[in-house]
Every structure is written in C-alpha cells, then in structure tokens.
Amino acid sequence: MNFFLSTVVVNSSVVFLGALLCLSFSPFDYSFLIFIVIALFKESLSEISAKKAAFRGFLFGLGMFGTGVPWVYVSMTLNIQGFSIPAMLMTLLFCSFWAIFPAIFAYLYIKLRRDNIFDVFFFASSWVLIEYIRGELVLNGFPWLQVAYSQLDSPLSAYIPIFGVYGTSFIIVLSAFLMADTVKKRCFFRFFIISVIILGGLALKNITWVQAAGDSFKATLIQGNIAQKNKWRTDNKKATLLQYYADTVKNWDSELIIWPETAIPAYYNDVKESYLLPLQQEAVANNTDIMTSLPYKNEQGQLYNAVVVLGENHALYKKIHLLPFGEYLPWQPISGYLLKLAGMSLGQFSAGEINQPLLKVAGYSVVTSICYEDAFGSQSIHQIKQARFLVNLTNDGWFDGSIEPYQHMQIARMRALESGRYLLRATNTGVTAVISEKGEVLKQAPIAKRAIMSAMVIPMKGLTPYAQLGNKAVLYLAFLLLLILIGIHLFKSDRL
C-alpha cells in the first residue's frame, strides 16, 4: 500500500513538474524555473528502469502540453456554445501525442547512460535532438515550448544569435543537469562551469553582429481586432474592407503599411478589380507599399494562404509551412471524422515553393512569414542575406482569451534575435509589435483592441553566426556526440 501511494505521489509530482515548466514562458516569464524543473525531472529519472522512465517522461509531457497548449481546445470550440466532448478528446489526443517525445527522451537517457562524467553531454544532446524531431520533422513540426524561448530576457539570450534555438537549448539543459549534480554531489566545479556560462552570456551581450543598411523608414501596423467568429460572415465583409481602408488612408505618410493575416475575408480574384486594384493605385500615388493577406486560388484550383504587396512592386507570397489540423489534415480519416463531430470545417491549403522571390517593400527586400511560419528559425534565415527586415502577418483570433498570443509573440522575438533583423508583426487581435534586431519589443499594441501603430524601422545588413550556419552545425555536433557516447556504452558493454 505504501509503495502504491509513493508511486502515485511521484508520478503526480512529475505531471506537476511538466505543468510548472510552462510558467517559464510568456505570459508568465519566470525564466529561472526552467532550470529547476529540468534538474528535478532529471532526478526523478534516477534509479528506475528505462520503461518506468518512459512512463514518467510521458507524464511530464502531459503536464507540459496539457498546461502549455490548452488553446487547442479554444480554437476548436470558438463557434460552439458550451462544452464539446469531441473537441476535448482531440485536445487530449493532441497533447498525448506530443507527450510521447519526452517519453522517448527519458527512455533513451536511462537506457544508455553510464553514470559518469559524459552523462551531462548525453542528457543535453538527447534533449536537443528530440526537440528537433518534434519541432521540425513530425507533422510539419510543432516547436512550441522549446526551452530556449524561455531565456529571451536572461543573460543566456546572448547565445541565441550564435547558436539559435537548439544550441541555446543545449546550453540550458546542460546547465540544469550541472545544477542538479552540484546540489546532489556537492561538486562546486560544476557550479564554476555554470558561472562561466552565465558570465559568457553577459559578455556576449555587448557584441553587435549586424549593422544598419540605410536610413530608417516609417511603418504602420494595423490591428483590426475583428473577432474570428465574425470574420467570414458575408454581412460583415463590406464593413471589414471599409475599416481597413479607413485606417490605411490616415497613414499615407508611411512608407509601409501592414495588415494582418487574412485581413481581407475573400478570395483574391473576388476582390481584385473592385478593391485591390484601386487600393494599389492609391498606394503607388502616395509612394506607399501595403502588405495584406487573403486566400488565393490559382487556375488549377489550388488554394494558398497568401500575402500580396500593393504598391510599386506588386507581388505575391504563398505560405510555405502549413499548420497541421488548421490548414491541412494529417491522421486522416480519423482527424477529419473527429473534427466533423466537433462541428469544424477547415480549409485544405497547398504549400508555396520554398524558393519564392523575396517581396520588396519600402525599397528593401524582406523575408515574409504568415502566422505559424515564424516558429521556424531555418525559414526565417532562408535568403536573409538579401533581406533587410522581417515581416510576419498573423491571425491569433482563433485563440481568443488564451495564453497562445503571448507564447506566439515570444517565439516571434526569437526570429528577430536569431537573424539580426527588425521584425514587424501585424496581427488581427494581438500581439501586434515592432521588434528590434536584438529581440527587444520596441512598440506593442494592446491586445484585443483595434489599434494603429506606427514606428521607425532600421533596415539591417550583415549576418549573425546563426544566420550563416543555421541549425545544422549544432545538430550535427549533438548527433555526433550522441553517437560517440552510444559507441562508448556499447564498447564497455561488450567488455563486461
């Protein structure tokens, strides 16, 4: 009986640890918690079998994703009154699926560790590679709650423009492991290493990786604040178009005006002649470029989530990295059946080509992303050498009243810091912001309010180390380190 109770207590505490990890991210921002949580999670895996470790890893993941991404349920029930069992089941399935990845990590760590000095590198390398698989490869990637995002305002943020998300995650996890060992083994050499890591971050803060590429220009970001449930109503279309037009003509003194994702609730061809063409003519006459978003259907009937530039350099960008379950449906036919039960009907979008020409606005080439795309550092630095700033158009209206817009904003800040470029982020309901090349929020509109926000933007040139190397260098190193450690494990096993 006592054994049963102790098992329940330990397993419950692991779920709690996973939930506690979420407080390290926005909107809570207790960044120091990430180290405590990972250190305690590491200790929870001590002296148990690999199978039990996998189960605890799964419980940790349930706590993490169950607390960190409950907005999945919010998005599925936005147009539903009352509680939805199918939506809750889909949310549970979603969280359970991603919880498998901490389980895999825990299993591998316990299965292959050797209880020696190399364990810290095995622990950190395994964590980073599992984060990468989850964040980039499976179901088009789900990089939410990757530990590096918690450190944007800590000394460790200085490592981000050098190593990116995954390299910084390695440093964080390694530091947390050393913290656990410092307390457990009273080995203060480990504390010395942690101190060097922190002091190194403080020193690196003073390094400037990029330079101004020209004079600053004025940009205006429009946050329409049109509720998602009203966005596509036919009787609301005219009012929406008039609202964005009225907010735009007040700001013809700006070189660039940006509307959020799907600001125009209509297909491109349906409004091309009546709305877009006259607006483009006005934009050209006022020496202004407008970036707006709307669905685009080509002659073959393929549907794209797109950004269009209205101005001297009229062009179109088609979203590359699609959102699973939002813009396409994996796990068919199960996912389609459950979403139908939940009363949801989602569009089936096609992905744009990876090497689309950069859009040119306000006289400069720009890396453009739509919503979820700003969660992928490799895409933001693609063609960054030619780009002078970043633009992200987002609609987080699906997650009304949840923590998702704040988490998403934190992710967006990472892209600015990694690339060494300003990021102009226009959203429908928030968080609309101008972010500097150092990842600092220079200006931010209030959430869930109609807002027009203008700021001066400095075009930047030059490349951060991360922009030059991307994720490959860190991932290859982590993978090589993992192979060496596994090889040592197998060699010693054969010798016994």
Three-state DSSP state, 264: coil
Distance CA 373, CA 321 (A): 6
Angle at 483 between CA 111 and CA 52, to 5 degrees: 15
φ, ψ for residue 379 (rounded to 5)?
Answer: -75, -35
Rounded Cα–Cα distance for residues 79 and 81 (Å): 7
Average pLDDT of the residues in 171-199? 86
* Furthest C-alpha separation in the chain: 80
Residue-wise pLDDT for 436-448, tens only, equals 999 999 999 999 9
Percentage, residues of the chain above pLDDT 70: 92
Model pLDDT, residue 378: 93
Give the helix/strand (H/E) hosting 42. helix 33-44
What's the pLDDT tens digit per position in 336-355?
555 565 555 555 888 999 99
Q: Which of 22, 371, 437, 438 is catalytic?
A: 371
Cα separation, 463 vs 467, whole angstroms: 6
The yes-or-no verdict on residue 16 having pLDDT over 70 is yes
User: What per-residue confidence (pLDDT) applies to 369?
Assistant: 97
C-alpha 403/C-alpha 391 separation (Å) is 22
Dist CA 455 CA 426 (whole Å): 12
Which residue out of 42, 319, 360, 438 is catalytically annotated? Answer: 319
Out of 108-112, 142-146, 281-285, 445-449, least confident range: 108-112
What per-residue confidence (pLDDT) applies to 339? 58
R_g (Cα) of the chain, nearest Å = 24
Per-residue tokens: 122: 């095995």
Res 58: pLDDT: 98
Q: Is the pLDDT of residue 329 over 70?
A: no
pLDDT interval class at 125 (50, 70, 90): very high
pLDDT of residue 364: 97
Q: 183 falls in which pLDDT band (50, 70, 90)?
A: confident
Instruction: Give the helix ranges, DSSP H, for 206-361.
Output: 228-231, 237-249, 268-271, 277-285, 334-341
Classify 491 as helix, strand or coil: helix
- State which amino acid sits at residue 359: L
| Residue 56: pLDDT over 90 | yes
The predicted structure's pLDDT at residue 4:
58
**What's the rounded mean pLDDT across residues 267-293?**
97
Helix (H, G, I), strand (E, B) or coil at 167: helix
Apex 138 CA angle, 136 and 142, nearest 5: 55
Q: What number is the average pLDDT over the span 36-44? A: 96
CA distances from 206 to 153, 159, 168, 464 (A): 15, 12, 18, 14
Q: What is the pLDDT of residues 202-211, one digit of tens each?
A: 999 989 999 9
| Distance in angstroms (rounded) separating the CA atoms of residues 388 and 422 | 8
Q: Which pLDDT score is estimated for 343?
A: 56
Does 376 score more than 80 pLDDT? yes
For β-strands 217-223 and 451-457, DSSP reports them as: antiparallel
Closest CA to 255 of 385, 418, 391, 430: 391
Q: What's the DSSP call for residue 495?
A: H
When pLDDT is averaged across residues 399-426 and rounded to a whole number, the result is: 96
> In the chain, what are the domain boundaries?
2-208+471-495, 211-463
pLDDT higher than 90, residue 53: yes
Q: Are 295 and 303 in contact (CB under 8 A)?
A: yes
b vs e for 62-75, b when ≥16 Cβ sit within 10 Å of the residue's Cβ? bbbbbbbbbbbbbb
The pLDDT mean for the chain works out to 91
Which is more confident, 350 or 411? Answer: 411
Model confidence over 470-493: pLDDT tens digits?
Answer: 999 899 989 998 888 777 767 665
State yes or no: pLDDT of 190 exceeds 90. no
Q: Tell me the CATH class for 211-463.
A: alpha beta
Looking at the chain, the whole-number percentage of residues with pLDDT higher than 90 is 73
Whether the pLDDT of residue 231 is over 60: the answer is yes
- The predicted model scores a pTM of 0.93
Predicted pLDDT of residue 337: 58
6: pLDDT strictly greater than 70:
no
163/470 Cα distance (integer angstroms): 8
Q: Which of 131, 136, 255, 261 is catalytic?
A: 261
Whether residue 290 has pLDDT greater than 90? yes
Report which secondary-structure segment, H or E, holds 296. Answer: strand 289-297
The confidence score (pLDDT) of residue 445 equals 97
Q: Which residues contact 349 (CB under 8 A, 6 or more apart)?
A: 295, 303, 304, 305, 319, 322, 327, 328
- What does DSSP say about strands 433-435 and 441-444: parallel, antiparallel, or unpaired? antiparallel
Q: Which residues contact 374 (CB under 8 A, 6 or more apart)?
A: 380, 392, 394, 408, 411, 412, 415, 423, 425
What is the dihedral angle through the alpha carbons of 40, 43, 45, 48, rounded to the nearest 10 degrees?
Answer: -150
The contacts found for 337-345 with CB under 8 angstroms, 24 or more apart, are 338/86, 338/89, 338/90, 338/93, 339/76, 339/86, 339/90, 341/86, 342/76, 342/77, 342/80, 342/84, 342/86, 342/87, 342/90, 343/79, 343/80, 343/84, 344/76
Catalytic residue status for 238: no
User: What is the mean predicted confidence (pLDDT) over 290-299?
Assistant: 95
Tokens representing 438 are 């150092």
| Per-residue pLDDT at 332 exceeds 60 | no
Helix (H, G, I), strand (E, B), or coil: what is residue 45?
A: coil
Phi/psi region, residue 287 (left: phi>0; alpha: psi -120 to 50; beta: rest), is left
- When mean pLDDT is compared across 116-130, 250-264, 287-301, 440-454, the lowest value belongs to 116-130
Annotated catalytic, 187? Answer: no
